[in-house]
Amino acid sequence: MKPIRSTALWLSLFLLGLGFVGVAKPLYAQEHLDVRVHYTKSEHQIPMRDGVKLFTSVYAPKDTSRTYPIMLFRTPYSVRPYGPNEYRESVGPSELFAREGYIFVYQDVRGKYMSEGEYMNVRPHNPNKRSRSDIDESSDTYDTIEWLVKNIPNNNGRAGIWGISYPGFYATMGAIDSHPALKAASPQAPVTEWFIGDDFRHNGALFLSHAFGFFSSFGQPRKGLTTDGISRFDPGTPDGYKFFLELGPLANADKKYFKGNIEFWKELTEHDAYDAFWKSRTPLPHLKNVKTAVMTVGGWFDAEDVYGPLKTYEAIEKNNPGAYNILVMGPWYHGGWSRADGDLLGDIRFGSKTSEFYRENIELQFFNHYLKDKGQLKLPDVYVFETGSNRWKTYDQWPPKGARQESIYLQAGGRLSFEAPRETSTDSYDEYISDPNKPVPYIGWISYRMPREYMVADQRFASTRPDVVVYESEVLTEDITVAGPITASLYVSTTGTDSDFVVKLIDVYPRDAPDNEPNPADVKMGGYQMMVRGEPFRAKFRNSFEKAEAMTPGKVTKVEFEMPSVSHTFKRGHRIMVQIQSSWFPLVDRNPQKFMEIHKATESDFQKATQRIYRSREYGSHLKLSVLR
């Protein structure tokens, strides 16, 4: 194991929610802008249609000789600092906006911190509002903008909304049934679908370490209006693998630590299938009749919400022909475009300051155009960074029109090839024993929380384990660019009645690849196995997320699922690798490998299982890739 790596993921997420975005380098060399010098702060309790008042901080330019558009940021993470004489260190998506001149508005969402009302996680949209008591996040956004344009001096009658992660969810909801003054919305890494692909569950599998770490703090109930921050849970060890293994069955989290106080933890674990609870909380079916311009932003290596931006863009594009709808995806971790240079993640370098490019040439242009009539907007429909080749690419749609579906097959001897298998034998399979009491770790170092670097981390630590099967191509003689979603089609069998299957697509560097400069002494890039995309699937949902079905022991079964898009070039001289395993701990909770609701499992339910991955002509396990050649 490598030494302990420190990670500030939770702190970064928390500060990001508060809006403490990093300061972007301005277009011209200047010192950091002092918000107190250039802006006047005021605080308001804005009434909603049902009488509930939401606490709102407004930062307006001191220069009142002209009018300004409103930039709204709604958050469950607090708009602190509180008090009319207490100022934020920075305002806006980046300092470029503060210099440009906007009215910046920060609001505690309903039921959080200093706002009245009852808080609800990912509050469902209500399309049938019949009375003043029928509220949702869309109506709260509408009512807020209505009050702002009527009561805040020197506004130009236009508003924009942005937010990252959970605030990104509120930006999405604000674009539904939007106020006429809302002209531009930018959901960034928006929380979108908490059962299938964002944050806390992926294809039904619970992201244990992330969910536990987040809700152990964020899920604590509020005791009245408060400006106090949340307290972090202390596990007493930096070793998440050890902590969560010793935790035992999932039910022990509540018994040992939460004591029934974290209501959403119980909902998260007990709603074990894609039922009405989850369906009501996704905004995707409601993204119709979108009237505002939308720029959805995400990161290819976002450990929390890579699914959300892709699906939000897709839904708006499908349901709103002719709407101004663009997608921006960079080589970023969660929110990295707002507060970092974007030139590296972990051991991987991207060759330029991609975040700076985005802030100056994309984000500022978008809002300036729609809120200030400034400049000619020449942004493409899709602006993505292609990793591997390390260059920005533009397209008319996503996936690109020129992408061709090609399948790369698992072969005998651990080979990987674009040719279909020729073997006809029923013995054409690879086998491993999955032991939930000795699960495969998801990182090769010690960390309690989910480190953002895991998305591109070296997989050599896993490739030598007997409970991980590995398939590798020959050395590539030409570049191969994958641009779009990945479909994993596996033919499998198990001696249990349920199983997880984790699929990882990996870029293997040449043995003579040069080390990075500067480079930690223990990281050698020769032979580096960079994870390009990894995703788990809980096999009991192979036919439907709504209705779980047991596996029949020993029966060959097809398990097929979509993995989030990538934009990556496997360079000539590299190899393509696929790894498959049945645990990914403690990122994903342990599957007892017995068909049941996992939150009800006891120690005795966890059992070893022999897993087989088939690779014959009849049962040709493969990954379907969107390839640009």
pLDDT tens readout for residues 371-411: 999 988 989 999 999 999 999 999 999 999 999 999 999 99
Distance between CA atoms of residues 389 and 371, nearest Å: 35
Nearest of 153, 159, 158 to residue 61 by alpha carbon = 153
Residue 18, pLDDT above cutoff 60: no
Q: Which amino acid, 120?
A: M
- How much is the pLDDT for 32? 87
pTM of the model: 0.94
Element of type H or E holding 112: none
- How much is the pLDDT for 264? 96
Q: How confident is the model at residue 116 (pLDDT cuts 50, 70, 90)?
A: very high
Nearest of 512, 501, 308, 481 to residue 399 by alpha carbon = 481
- Positive or negative: CA dihedral 560, 563, 566, 572: negative
- Mean pLDDT of the 158-169 span: 98
Listed by start position, the domains of the chain span 9-193+282-395, 404-628
The DSSP annotation for 112-125 comes to: STT--S---TTPPP
* The CATH fold of domain 9-193+282-395: Rossmann fold (3.40.50)
Residue 23, pLDDT above cutoff 60: no
- How much is the pLDDT for 441? 98
- Mean pLDDT of the 308-323 span: 97
Q: Give, as one character, the DSSP assignment of residue 365.
A: H
Q: How confident is the model at residue 521 (pLDDT cuts 50, 70, 90)?
A: low
Q: How confident is the model at residue 320 (pLDDT cuts 50, 70, 90)?
A: very high
Contact 139, 170 (CB under 8 A): no
| CATH classification code of 404-628 | 2.60.120.260
Nearest of 471, 476, 438, 484 to residue 590 by alpha carbon = 438
- How much is the pLDDT for 24? 35
Q: Express each pLDDT in 550-560 by its tens digit.
A: 999 999 999 99
Q: How confident is the model at residue 520 (pLDDT cuts 50, 70, 90)?
A: low
Contact 498, 595 (CB under 8 A): yes
Look at 25-39, 229-243, 442-456, 585-599 and tell me which has the smallest mean pLDDT.
Answer: 25-39
Residue 450, pLDDT above cutoff 70: yes
- How much is the pLDDT for 10? 37
- Mean pLDDT of the 183-187 span: 98
3-class DSSP state of 222: coil
